[in-house]
Protein backbone atom coordinates (compact mmCIF):
# COMPACT_ATOMS: atom_id res chain seq x y z
CA UNK A 1 0.00 0.00 0.00
CA UNK A 2 2.73 2.49 0.94
CA UNK A 3 5.02 1.39 -1.89
CA UNK A 4 3.24 3.78 -4.25
CA UNK A 5 3.81 6.87 -2.11
CA UNK A 6 6.39 9.32 -3.37
CA UNK A 7 7.60 12.15 -1.21
CA UNK A 8 8.67 15.30 -2.99
CA UNK A 9 10.52 18.02 -1.13
CA UNK A 10 11.66 20.83 -3.41
CA UNK A 11 15.24 21.96 -2.83
CA UNK A 12 14.32 25.57 -3.55
CA UNK A 13 12.35 25.66 -0.28
CA UNK A 14 15.46 24.86 1.77
CA UNK A 15 16.00 27.31 4.62
CA UNK A 16 19.78 27.48 5.01
CA UNK A 17 19.51 28.93 8.52
CA UNK A 18 17.55 25.87 9.64
CA UNK A 19 19.76 23.35 7.82
CA UNK A 20 23.00 24.76 9.25
CA UNK A 21 21.73 24.12 12.79
CA UNK A 22 22.09 20.40 12.11
CA UNK A 23 25.80 20.90 11.27
CA UNK A 24 26.79 23.19 14.18
CA UNK A 25 26.99 20.45 16.84
CA UNK A 26 29.35 18.29 14.77
CA UNK A 27 32.87 18.16 16.15
CA UNK A 28 35.47 15.87 14.71
CA UNK A 29 39.20 15.49 14.57
CA UNK A 30 40.20 12.24 12.86
CA UNK A 31 43.28 10.85 11.20
CA UNK A 32 41.88 9.40 7.99
CA UNK A 33 42.29 5.65 7.61
CA UNK A 34 39.57 5.05 5.02
CA UNK A 35 37.40 7.47 3.04
CA UNK A 36 34.51 7.33 0.63
CA UNK A 37 33.59 10.81 -0.59
CA UNK A 38 31.20 11.74 -3.37
CA UNK A 39 29.04 14.77 -4.19
CA UNK A 40 26.42 13.66 -1.66
CA UNK A 41 28.26 12.04 1.28
CA UNK A 42 31.48 12.25 3.24
CA UNK A 43 32.20 8.89 4.87
CA UNK A 44 35.46 8.62 6.79
CA UNK A 45 36.82 6.01 9.17
CA UNK A 46 39.76 6.97 11.30
CA UNK A 47 41.23 7.43 14.73
CA UNK A 48 41.41 10.35 17.12
CA UNK A 49 44.95 11.81 17.19
CA UNK A 50 45.43 11.94 20.96
CA UNK A 51 43.65 8.79 22.14
CA UNK A 52 43.87 6.57 19.05
CA UNK A 53 40.18 5.75 19.59
CA UNK A 54 38.47 4.60 16.39
CA UNK A 55 35.62 6.73 15.09
CA UNK A 56 33.82 7.56 11.88
CA UNK A 57 32.07 10.39 10.10
CA UNK A 58 29.06 10.13 7.81
CA UNK A 59 27.76 13.55 6.90
CA UNK A 60 26.08 15.19 3.93
CA UNK A 61 28.73 16.81 1.72
CA UNK A 62 27.84 20.50 1.99
CA UNK A 63 31.51 21.46 1.48
CA UNK A 64 31.97 20.03 -2.03
CA UNK A 65 34.90 18.06 -0.70
CA UNK A 66 36.01 15.39 -3.18
CA UNK A 67 38.02 12.21 -2.92
CA UNK A 68 41.10 13.90 -4.44
CA UNK A 69 41.21 16.32 -1.47
CA UNK A 70 42.01 13.63 1.12
CA UNK A 71 44.66 10.96 1.49
CA UNK A 72 45.24 8.30 4.10
CA UNK A 73 47.03 9.89 7.04
CA UNK A 74 45.47 13.35 6.57
CA UNK A 75 43.48 14.76 9.47
CA UNK A 76 39.95 16.11 9.04
CA UNK A 77 38.82 18.73 11.55
CA UNK A 78 35.48 20.43 12.15
CA UNK A 79 34.79 22.27 15.38
CA UNK A 80 31.49 22.38 17.24
CA UNK A 81 29.69 25.67 16.61
CA UNK A 82 31.38 26.25 13.26
CA UNK A 83 30.68 25.25 9.69
CA UNK A 84 34.17 25.10 8.13
CA UNK A 85 36.05 21.85 7.56
CA UNK A 86 39.84 21.63 7.36
CA UNK A 87 41.99 18.86 5.92
CA UNK A 88 45.46 18.90 7.48
CA UNK A 89 48.11 17.37 5.25
CA UNK A 90 51.83 16.98 5.91
CA UNK A 91 52.66 20.42 4.49
CA UNK A 92 49.31 22.06 3.72
CA UNK A 93 45.96 22.85 5.27
CA UNK A 94 42.92 22.86 2.96
CA UNK A 95 39.94 24.91 4.18
CA UNK A 96 36.40 24.20 2.98
CA UNK A 97 33.46 26.54 3.52
CA UNK A 98 29.94 25.19 4.11
CA UNK A 99 27.70 25.66 1.10
CA UNK A 100 23.92 26.01 0.89
CA UNK A 101 22.13 26.45 -2.41
CA UNK A 102 25.53 26.60 -4.09
CA UNK A 103 26.78 29.61 -2.09
CA UNK A 104 29.11 30.00 0.87
CA UNK A 105 26.96 30.31 3.96
CA UNK A 106 27.93 31.45 7.46
Q: pLDDT tens digits for 60-87?
A: 999 999 999 999 999 999 999 999 999 9
Residue 73 lies in a domain: yes
Residue 91 lies in a domain: yes
Per DSSP, the chain holds a count of helices (H) and strands (E) of 1, 8
Residue 4 lies in a domain: no
Q: Are 94 and 69 contacting, i.e. CB atoms less than 8 angstroms apart?
A: yes
Residue numbers of the domain that contains 61 = 16-101
- Looking at the 3D structure of the chain, how many domains does it have? 1
Give how far the C-alpha of residue 96 lies from the chain's centroid of Cα atoms, to the nearest Å: 10
Residue 66 lies in a domain: yes
Q: How far apart are CA 51 and CA 67, in angstroms?
A: 26
Residue 52 lies in a domain: yes
> pTM of the predicted model, to two decimals?
0.83
Residue 11 lies in a domain: no
**How far is CA 15 from each of CA 10, 25, 32, 33, 96, rounded to the nearest angstrom?**
11, 18, 32, 34, 21
Q: Is the pLDDT of residue 19 over 80?
A: yes
Amino acid sequence: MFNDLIYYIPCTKTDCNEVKLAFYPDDYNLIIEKSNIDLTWIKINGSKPITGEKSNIMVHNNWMLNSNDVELGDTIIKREGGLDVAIHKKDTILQFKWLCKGKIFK
